[in-house]
Amino acid sequence: MSDLQIRQGRRLGRRSAILAGLASAMVMALPFTSGTVFAEENKAQRVLAIGGAVTEIIYALGEQDRLVGRDSTSTYPPEATTLPDVGYIRALSPEGVLSVKPDLILARENNGPREAVEVLKSTGVRWVDIPDDFTLEGIDVNITIIARELGVEDKGEALKSKVAADIAKARAHLAGVDGKLRVMFVLALNDDKINTSGINTAASKIIELAGAENVITAFEGYKQISNEAVINAAPDVILMMNGRGVSADHEAMNALIEAHPALSTTPAVKNGRIIRMDGLLMLGFGPRTGEAITQLAEAFYGHEH
């Protein structure tokens, strides 16, 4: 092992020790709840939601009065934004999370950083990871887990039935669609570099559920692609989020797209088929997924599809 590696290991060790010490000190200040009370009531009273869909599910279950905080991606419903914000889901800190004194943390997977999360999980505060599964089955599983942790299984069953009915109704309107539009999801456009969605992403799945197909299938996840790949893909529609990752100024963004050497050649740009949608609604895979499917299908195919 090199001297550099040894020094880096020591620094990481010191940082972990500092984080652990800080977390331990903060836990000592948390309200004490005996194990017996938890066993009898099975209901956490101070819940922290990390992840937009997690927060939406808690509100949809009618259990929002138990929320003491949320992460910065939890922006719906609007009243959720009045809760204390403990930080971005992938940039959490023990100080921020423990400042709201939770007795239950419900966190969407893909949270981080890993070191901070490990420290938080070692404090004794109950931490439950909610699967990052962008499928209809995944929505069902997420509702089941959250309802169980909150001790409201009956409400969970009712919500699952409502969400399933909403999605089925949204999908039923697609039966008459002839031919599928080819859609490219643009996550970001910076300095002419295009970051887009491959397969096995929330963007790819919602495109499919709305009756279209993702034109980028050569890789998984979100990656930067070449101009040649964009030209060859020739999407009928370009799909983007409002706000995050792209300019909130639609006119300015449209000008960039129209001037882009590759995007400007696509049928989507030539025909003015650039569609934007709220990111949490479109990609959250929470209780509003039926609404997301309906809005996208209407944007793709019109009201008479």
Length of the chain measured in residues:
305
CB 37 within 8 A of CB 45: no
The answer to whether the CB of 151 falls within 8 A of the CB of 131 is no
- Dist CA 164 CA 287 (whole Å): 9
CA angle 275, 88, 138 (to 5 degrees): 65
Does the pTM surpass 0.75? The reply is yes
| Side chain identity at residue 187, one-letter code | L
The per-residue pLDDT for 35 is 36
Query: Are 3-153 and 179-301 in the same CATH fold?
Result: yes
Q: Collapsing DSSP states into helix, strand and coil, what is residue 193?
A: strand
CATH superfamily of 179-301: Nitrogenase molybdenum iron protein domain (3.40.50.1980)
Residue ranges in the chain modelled with pLDDT below 70: 1-42, 243-249, 303-305
Tokens representing residue 48 in the block = 């922290």
What is the token pair recorded at 247? 């300019």
Taking the domain 3-153, which CATH number applies? 3.40.50.1980
Per-residue confidence (pLDDT) for residue 32, from 0 to 100: 36
Query: 196-236, pLDDT tens digit by residue?
Result: 999 999 999 999 999 999 999 999 999 999 999 999 999 99
pLDDT of residue 229: 97
The structural domains of the chain, with segments of one domain joined by +, span 3-153, 179-301
